[in-house]
Amino acid sequence: MKLLITGGAGFIGSAVVRLAIAQGHSVVNVDALTYAACLENVAAVGNSPRYVFEKADIRDRAAMDRILAVHDPDAVMHLAAESHVDRSIDGPGTFIETNITGTFTLLEAARAHWMGKGRPDGFRFHHISTDEVFGSLGPTGKFTEDTPYDPRSPYSASKAASDHLVRAWHETYGLPVVLTNCSNNYGPFHFPEKLIPVVILNAMAGKAIPVYGKGENVRDWLFVEDHADALLTVLTKGRPGRSYNIGGENEARNIDLVRTICRLMDEMHPQGAPHDRLITFVADRPGHDLRYAIDPSRMREELGWRPSVTLEEGLRRTVRWYLENEAWWRPLLARQGVGERLGVKA
């Protein structure tokens, strides 16, 4: 298949690009190269004859029309999004523009292209979203595909809105769509303002490791390469109009996650050990959801997919990658806002 992947220079998007090329697909990577994007993420496939890069903004309808006409993809995988909750608290406008208006623009361009090709049944618009649209769970229960939406941050609200647009374009216009909502991703190439890379890099530098509140917030952690595999499975096997929750089946409290990383750092980077002495509890961010957990039954029962990487294995692989790839993360630390406490303007 020929895939048009938006946001393919980002964390999850680049994992999808790399795996899609490895599986024999052709890829058109569309990315505006905003602050969290990095073309080094796809350097491993950059010379492949089946890979093309287009620098463009999904809010630019003329650019989207041109790219779709020139490359004529079999499917659109829409990953381009603003995704950092703390940044959405400080500056929600960008999240509204990219995640809502950008998705609308891309949907309209894809619909026009699909109709111009005679509405082929095999075309797919795959919208990649987050479990954060469902809000917060208590100590028990899990999100299913039928859980009512209850977003609590500007980021999750913007993603919820984009989900609704995608469903509406399917119901109203018949555009063949599939949707996925995933749990927290982690792994190599994770932008260094997110929790796991912050812990690794601060531990390496002997700096305080910030943990919000008491560290009792619970997330289900999904290794990014597992997620990429799940997304391509949904794209090729999922039913049009259907949504699929993708989870890692690896729930952990933030404080336990941080302590595990510190233990791995003690083992793999003993300078400065014990690293858990650097853990520092800081004021919680506004609207911090207590717990997310995914029920992945539909992925397992309908598509035969489940994650292959345990949290311990995935964290070990991630720590090792950051220790071995300073040339990748060091320049990113200089980008605007990275390394600063964000999300405190509310």
Q: Which residues are catalytic?
A: 131-132, 155
Burial 155-170 (b: 16+ CB within 10 A, else e): bbbbbbbbbebbeebb
Q: Which two tokens stand for residue 281?
A: 């509890």
Q: Which amino acid is at 73?
A: P
C-alpha separations of 223 from 127, 315, 333 in Å: 19, 9, 23
Residues 6+ apart with CB under 8 A from 309: 223, 225, 226, 248, 317
Is the Cβ–Cβ distance between 5 and 71 less than 8 Å?
no
Is the Cβ–Cβ distance between 34 and 67 less than 8 Å?
no
The rounded radius of gyration (Å) of the Cα atoms in the chain is: 19
Element (H, E) at 165: helix 154-173
Q: Which two tokens stand for residue 101?
A: 């208006």
In three-state form (DSSP H/G/I as H, E/B as E, the rest C), the secondary structure along 227-244 is HHHHHHHHHHHCCCCCEE
Q: CA end-to-end span of the chain, whole Å?
A: 45
5: left (phi > 0), else alpha (psi -120 to 50), else beta? beta
Give Cα 334 to chain centroid, integer Å.
22
69 — phi, psi (to 5°)? Answer: -70, -40
Beta pairing partners, 29: 5, 53
> Could you give the 3-state DSSP secondary structure of residue 36?
coil
User: Comparing C-alpha atoms, which of 127, 114, 132 is closest to residue 164?
Assistant: 127
Instruction: Give the residue carrying structure tokens 């960008």.
Output: 94
Q: Which two tokens stand for residue 163?
A: 């989900």
